[in-house]
Amino acid sequence: QAWDPLVVQGKLIYIIPIILGIMAYARFIKPISWLSRWPMALIAGAGAGSSIYGATNSSLVAQVKANLLPLNSFDNIFMVVGVLAVMVYFLFSRDQKGPVKHFASGGRMLLMVTFGVSFGNVIMGRISLLLGALQSIFGKWLGIISL
């Protein structure tokens, strides 16, 4: 029954995976063991190609689309200028002199503010969890405070 698509229905395209499968088992025959490299190379190449496409499509293309904003409000203008400033800060192929240096230092400041806000948000979340745990301990368990 496995040969029906190939023999009965005439789908000769199935010869390729059959040959590659047989070539994969050639590893166990010493004189022709080099043939097993071809199917492994095909599998590795197909996997790398699909993962590169997926990573590029999900990371790079999505971020570029998110930053292509209409410049009709201050928020959008600030977002686009901020992204460009951060990108210029990480541009190390040329010397940063003159206005480019100031633009790049603005990108560095923007990064520092962003990381500071992110860190502060984490700390506030942890303090909130701590306060909830302390209220539970001193209120419900020990009865020292009333909730």
φ and ψ at residue 15, rounded to 5 degrees: -65, -35
Residue 147, SS3?
A: coil
Query: Residue 8 — very low, low, confident or very high, per pLDDT cuts 50/70/90?
Result: confident
Percentage with pLDDT > 90 across the chain? 65
State pLDDT tens for residues 66-120: 888 899 999 999 999 999 999 999 988 878 889 999 999 999 999 999 999 999 9
* Digit-coded pLDDT (tens) for 20-45: 999 999 999 999 999 999 999 999 99
CA atoms within 13 A on the CB side of 62: 7
Q: In the chain, what are the domain boundaries?
A: 1-68, 72-147
Rounded CA separation 58/11 (Å): 35
